[in-house]
Homo-oligomer: A and B are copies of this chain.
């Protein structure tokens, strides 16, 4: 566990296979670490480039030549050179070695297969851990350590990710910056020959900085242990697992990608359900759930009120939004008769839909009316959560963006004051900068924002299911 702390908070990093050539990952690791603002020591290492510099940093000929201690080694060299490098790592008393290098079990040839156990043996003998091989390694916003070649670090937060895939880790780190999904720690672990998903999840279960764990996994070498670790984690904090390769074609691909064994998708779903974790089925759903579990600590039931026409949209969104909610397993509950009377008095009956969903078009721009509508719906005893849908591009076609922002601050403050959990749906369109600005109004206050009614409904339904299974977390 001590070594795992060092992995996410390394005092110093050596990049072995460093290169001044911008077409090599040995260049991009250096560039990315510098650009992300990492504050520890950074040492490029390469026998071939010794004496040169990479982005102003002197390149050392070997790990032994590095003047200070090294916590984390990032490796981008051919597989034929990894065993002797591990001997050097032992000599340098490093804490962990992250292998970007690929060509092991996932390749399926004799050399690849035989290298892996030798690497693990050397790491254990040397008292350090291996991340990977065949992966992008560590993301640590508190240490301002960017992942892979991304060069960007988001705000530190309470979500951790443990992803077998580097590409998905890259993307998740960036999506997090764009959507305010803020990470405590993240790791792309690839083949996971030493530290596996289970090890990281076990560590993160005990990590006080982590409140939510996300895991993209293609396969695991010890299914029993993985299940036990997930179960223990899910008892303490929300866990979202996205299993890649649940179809036959996907599993075939996973076997080439990370050497994962094939297990039927329905077996995985049953196991994940039994472990009490939420299952995602796509990248979009994975990110949506991490955001929702980050923003909310307690999870309301399935009875939703849908408010459309608050700004843009209206009747069609009410109708199709009902379909989306019901399909996802939410209940679009009838409103209390008192609520409907209040809404009728406020909105008028012409051009309004005075049931659930409520089309609020008639109150647009009339904030005192809207305030009363929100209060009335939020106070309805049958409503457990509220979905608000707006079409920002439609709005800014007719009104200035500043008015839309001001109005949305009002909507946000009214609904936050009501105490009823709510989320926003802001579909993309022809005014993306305006939409992202409005999105930020809500994200700044921790209100979940989704780009479609379908995605909001899916995520809320999965979160409601989580609340049902973990009564202490249900609102």
- Which positions in A face B, CB cutoff 8 Å? 23, 28, 31-32, 79, 102-103, 107, 109, 134, 149-152, 163-168, 170-171, 174-175, 177-178, 216, 218, 242, 244-250, 252-254, 256-258, 281-284, 308-309, 312-320, 322-327, 332, 349-351, 353-357, 359, 365, 391, 393-394, 397-398, 427-432, 436, 451-454
Evaluate contact between A430 and B354: CB separation under 8 angstroms. Answer: no
Residue numbers in B under 8 Å from A332 (CB-CB): 249, 253
Distance of A430 Cα from B172 Cα, bound (Å): 10
> Taking CB as reference atom, which chain B residue is nearest A364?
B23
Distance of A32 Cα from B254 Cα, bound (Å): 52
Evaluate contact between A391 and B171: CB separation under 8 angstroms. Answer: yes
Evaluate contact between A353 and B256: CB separation under 8 angstroms. Answer: yes
Evaluate contact between B171 and A393: CB separation under 8 angstroms. Answer: yes
Evaluate contact between A323 and B355: CB separation under 8 angstroms. Answer: no
| CB contact between A359 and one of B257, B351, B391 (< 8 Å): that residue | B257
Distance of A24 Cα from B145 Cα, bound (Å): 53
User: What are the 5 A-B residue pairs with the smallest beta carbon separation, nearest first?
Assistant: A165-B316, A103-B350, A247-B326, A168-B316, A250-B322
Evaluate contact between B316 and A150: CB separation under 8 angstroms. Answer: no
> Taking CB as reference atom, which chain B residue is nearest A108?
B349
Smallest beta-carbon distance A180→chain B, Å = 11
**With A150-B397, A349-B107, A355-B256 as contacts: A326 and B250 at CB distance below 8 Å:** yes
| CB contact between A428 and one of B149, B350, B365, B428 (< 8 Å): that residue | B428
Distance of A246 Cα from B319 Cα, bound (Å): 9
Residue numbers in B under 8 Å from A245 (CB-CB): 319-320, 322-323
Evaluate contact between B394 and A174: CB separation under 8 angstroms. Answer: yes
Smallest beta-carbon distance A430→chain B, Å = 4
Evaluate contact between A324 and B282: CB separation under 8 angstroms. Answer: yes
Evaluate contact between B257 and A315: CB separation under 8 angstroms. Answer: yes
Distance of A102 Cα from B349 Cα, bound (Å): 10
Residue numbers in B under 8 Å from A430 (CB-CB): 152, 174-175, 177-178
Distance of A312 Cα from B107 Cα, bound (Å): 21
> Taking CB as reference atom, which chain B residue is nearest A284?
B452
> Taking CB as reference atom, which chain B residue is nearest A164?
B316
Residue numbers in B under 8 Å from A256 (CB-CB): 353-355
Evaluate contact between A316 and B282: CB separation under 8 angstroms. Answer: no
Residue numbers in B under 8 Å from A149 (CB-CB): 397-398
- Cβ contacts A to B, 9 pairs, < 8 Å: A152-B430, A167-B391, A171-B429, A174-B431, A175-B430, A245-B322, A254-B319, A281-B323, A282-B320
Evaluate contact between A316 and B429: CB separation under 8 angstroms. Answer: no
Distance of A312 Cα from B248 Cα, bound (Å): 24
Residue numbers in B under 8 Å from A109 (CB-CB): 349
**With A309-B167, A316-B166 as contacts: A253 and B322 at CB distance below 8 Å:** yes
Distance of A252 Cα from B319 Cα, bound (Å): 8
| CB contact between A394 and one of B167, B253, B284, B429 (< 8 Å): that residue | B167
> Taking CB as reference atom, which chain B residue is nearest A165?
B316
Residue numbers in B under 8 Å from A391 (CB-CB): 167, 170-171
Evaluate contact between B174 and A429: CB separation under 8 angstroms. Answer: yes
Residue numbers in B under 8 Å from A79 (CB-CB): 350
> Taking CB as reference atom, which chain B residue is nearest A170?
B394
Evaluate contact between A316 and B167: CB separation under 8 angstroms. Answer: yes
Residue numbers in B under 8 Å from A175 (CB-CB): 429-430
**Beyond A103-B350, A149-B398, A151-B398: 16 further Cβ-contacts under 8 Å?**
A79-B350, A103-B349, A107-B350, A150-B398, A166-B315, A167-B308, A168-B320, A171-B391, A178-B429, A178-B430, A242-B320, A249-B356, A250-B322, A253-B357, A282-B453, A282-B454
Distance of A474 Cα from B185 Cα, bound (Å): 49
Distance of A391 Cα from B172 Cα, bound (Å): 11
Smallest beta-carbon distance A224→chain B, Å = 23
**With A165-B316, A175-B430, A178-B430 as contacts: A397 and B244 at CB distance below 8 Å:** no
> Taking CB as reference atom, which chain B residue is nearest A246?
B323
Residue numbers in B under 8 Å from A168 (CB-CB): 316-317, 320
Residue numbers in B under 8 Å from A314 (CB-CB): 165-167
Residue numbers in B under 8 Å from A247 (CB-CB): 322-323, 326-327
Tell which of A163, A283, A309, A323 has the most Cβ of chain B within 10 Å. Answer: A323
Distance of A454 Cα from B247 Cα, bound (Å): 14
Evaluate contact between A394 and B355: CB separation under 8 angstroms. Answer: no
Smallest beta-carbon distance A247→chain B, Å = 4
Distance of A218 Cα from B320 Cα, bound (Å): 9
